Structure 1
Amino acid sequence: MPKVSSVIVPYASYLRVYEPLAAFPEPERGHWARYARRPDRPSYQDELRRSLADLLPTPPVAVPVHESADAFVTEVDGVVCVCPWRTRLRGWQALGELAGELPPPVLDAVLPPLVRHQATQDYERWLTRNPDARPWIRTATWEVPLNWFVLVSDEEREYDRGSGADEGAAPPVLRYRTPMVQARRRVARGLRTLRDTLDEGPLIDGLLDVGRWLEEFHPRSLVELDYGGLVHVLPAGELAGDHSAADVAEGIEALRDGDGEAAGEAYGRLVDRWRAVRDRRSAN
């Protein structure tokens, strides 16, 4: 499918799970095996552009009419692993969260109530036929949720400044990749520490939710935390100096050791860094 445009959409970050082909039943496994051999696979920016293009018609298309047949593909120790986009499912789920993110007049202007109501009805009917459906991708806007960093370590951090802004140049990349087994182990250890030292709250609730989500996938999957479009809006110096996973690990370790001061310092660095990122949303 051709690209919608070359416009860069800067605001989304992603948590993805790549499962080995063996995790998929036929005929889906065969589809992904053939898809993985394609030389022209689209990028996450292509998916975002398509979603934004759907908002241009009148009335707008809140959720794609058909499910995406695209995926992200990688190899892990010679094994092909895929992360299906499932754009339609994720669109339905995101639609349910919009009311908490946009003022009602803005929401109604972007997606009229009738359009949202129809999409909700479609989702409910679809869920009755697919009760166990879950996405392979989680998305956040203008941030990377702190609980995502619990899954990875600073040693798994990959940062590439890219090769410039010209069309066709390699874009910047900031991501972490870790085996599913490691991600689950870190979630379990992090939860033990947080529950032993903190009251219940958003950080614990969010980590519990992510942990349950990870349990639904093949144990030999790959977990990827990708800054996605944020690398296009943050200066290279800030990206190079961003070691949020290390700060999260340091904070949890300090809590485990009973060092509240060190934990507070690590948390303060995280709050300052990500507040500055969210402030850019107001400036755009």
Structure 2
Amino acid sequence: MSGELYLGHSNLPFLSALRLYLPLTEFTDVEQTLIERSAPPSEDRMYADLRELNDSLGRVVRAGPSTLPTAAAERFRSLQMVEDGPVLYSLNQVHFRSAKAVEAFRDGPNNRLAEWLFSAKVVEEMHELAATERRVLTRTSTWGIPFSWFVLISESDRTEVVESRSRVITVRVQVPLATAKQRLVSGIANLEVAAPELDLLDELRELHDWLATVPELAVVELDYGAIADRIYPDESPMDVRLGLECIAEGDLTGAAAAYRRLASRWILIRQLARAS
């Protein structure tokens, strides 16, 4: 996929996302109405990115007591895996996820800072929103992609490479939910036997819990974001898979080699987070 696209997001902190795409029937009546009115066509895959970037920049310069997203900032993405197949949708939930973030900030070690940044009214509104029962459809990560996410995907999965002006804008890898869950179960089983002390095991269990109640027709998408221009083509999914296979076989040398390849590939990206 190519075209002349705005590249301003390439200079922002690298943000990657793990998304769920669901059938239309999985959304509320209000959300279904919004989708039918405003969801972009499945072939226009950059529309939502540009709208979200515009929304984000608008909040930075917005006058008012709070720059947090509002319900009006909700955006939808659409995806059709195969021609004549069902169209699936993903809601960005930026309002709901911001409420969750404010809640975590307020309850964390920097809670005094939260009191300075947000008024009591805003905190209370965010608390009420965060308490609602909603399925989280998007997970995000800045300055790198968690290695656990790569367990979900393979180099043979459906992949979109978005390019403009000789730069990679993003890479999106999509996999049916059933396949992603099967890979998770296999990885968890291997680590439980061979390396139960690894933090990766807890991360995989958390992902498995996240996907446990999702309908089988769903699709999981790993969106590299602007980080793709520095990392793609990326062999991380293969290295993670090889590392898990080596651990299961007791080949610690092979597992260490796979980890070194992963670490050397991503260390430069993560160092950018601390660069001046």
Is contact 1:59–1:115 with CA below 8 Å preserved after alignment? no
Which ranges of 4 or more aligned residues in structure 1 deviate by more than 4 Å?
37-41, 57-60, 96-101
Q: How much does 1:256 deviate?
A: 1.3
Amino acid at match of 2:177: M
Is contact 1:55–1:61 with CA below 8 Å preserved after alignment? no
Is contact 2:243–2:259 with CA below 8 Å preserved after alignment? yes
Is contact 2:169–2:226 with CA below 8 Å preserved after alignment? no
Q: Matched residue of 1:210: which SS?
A: helix
Q: How far apart, in 2, do the equivalents of 1:40 and 1:227 lie? A: 14
Change (3 A) 1:45 1:35: closer
1:178 counterpart residue number:
175
Amino acid at match of 1:271: A
Moved more, 53-62 or 118-127: 53-62
Q: How far apart, in 2, do the equivalents of 1:216 and 1:24 lie? A: 14
1:153 counterpart residue number:
154
Partner of residue 258 from structure 1, selected from 250, 255, 272: 250
1:24 counterpart residue number:
27
Amino acid at match of 1:215: A
**1:30-79 deviation line (CA, Å, top 9, x unaligned):** 43233336679833253244235424456662522325331111113421
Q: How does 1:36-115 map to 2 (within 5 A)?
A: 36=39, 42-57=47-62, 61-66=66-71, 68-77=73-82, 78-96=85-103, 108=113, 113-115=116-118
Q: How does 1:240-255 map to 2 (within 5 A)?
A: 240=233, 242-255=234-247
Q: Matched residue of 1:200: which SS?
A: coil
Q: How much does 1:262 deviate?
A: 0.5
Q: How does 1:203-282 map to 2 (within 5 A)?
A: 203-232=200-229, 234=230, 238-240=231-233, 242-282=234-274
Amino acid at match of 2:270: R
**1:198-243 deviation line (CA, Å, top 9, x unaligned):** 13343112111111111232211110001012135x2xxx422x21
Amino acid at match of 1:182: T
Partner of residue 14 from structure 1, selected from 17, 26, 29: 17
Is contact 1:160–1:173 with CA below 8 Å preserved after alignment? yes
RMSD (Å), alpha carbons: 3.1
1:124 counterpart residue number:
127
Change (3 A) 1:258 1:144: same
Q: How much does 1:142 deviate?
A: 0.5
Q: How far apart, in 2, do the equivalents of 1:28 and 1:115 lie? A: 28
Q: How far apart, in 1, do the equivalents of 2:45 and 2:200 lie? A: 39
Amino acid at match of 1:239: Y
Q: How much does 1:248 deviate?
A: 0.4
Change (3 A) 1:231 1:99: farther
Is 1:188 equivalent to 2:185 in the alignment? yes
Q: How far apart, in 2, do the equivalents of 1:148 and 1:40 lie? A: 21
Q: Matched residue of 2:152: which SS?
A: coil
**1:238-279 deviation line (CA, Å, top 9, x unaligned):** 422x21000000001111111111011101111121111111
Q: Matched residue of 1:283: which SS?
A: coil
Gap regions ≥5 residues in structure 1: none
Change (3 A) 1:30 1:161: closer
Moved more, 92-101 or 202-211: 92-101
Amino acid at match of 2:146: P
